[in-house]
Amino acid sequence: MAMERVHSELRPIVNAYPEGVSFIHVTHQDVGLPDAGARKVLARMMAEFAQVTVCVGVVLLGNGFWASAMQSLLTGMRLIAPPRGWQMRFPAHEAVIADWVARMHTQRTQRAINADHIAALIQEMRARQ
């Protein structure tokens, strides 16, 4: 399952940065909504990574019903996840999420990350769709 692979790929990264990690998820509407198995893995990751997660930015490459349903699903999962000190946002533009993630990450971890670089990477991913 794809989400199990994502979980196993993220675990060593999270373990390497106990002071905090930030995530930006770029998701295309062609992937559809997560099935029950994927939602279970997402919930497990939210719980397992809660203590080290600084913030999560979600870029939805799509619109209409899919984008609304995906945002609702992820927001609902976050609300029922174990207690957490992290925030999740769904930006309208790459620069907005890049600036927010860079600011939040730097404040909590004292490690600066470059917002322009983040925005450029998101734009690159958007161009691949």
What is the residue extent of each domain of the chain?
20-128
Rounded average pLDDT over 2-11: 91
Residue 114 backbone dihedrals phi, psi, to 5 degrees: -90, 115
pLDDT the model gives residue 85:
81
pLDDT the model gives residue 36:
92
Count CB atoms within 10 A of the CB of residue 117. Answer: 11
Query: Six-digit token pair at 88?
Result: 């999740």
In this prediction the pTM is: 0.88
Count CB atoms within 10 A of the CB of residue 110. Answer: 9
Rounded-to-integer distance, Cα 52 and Cα 66, Å? 29
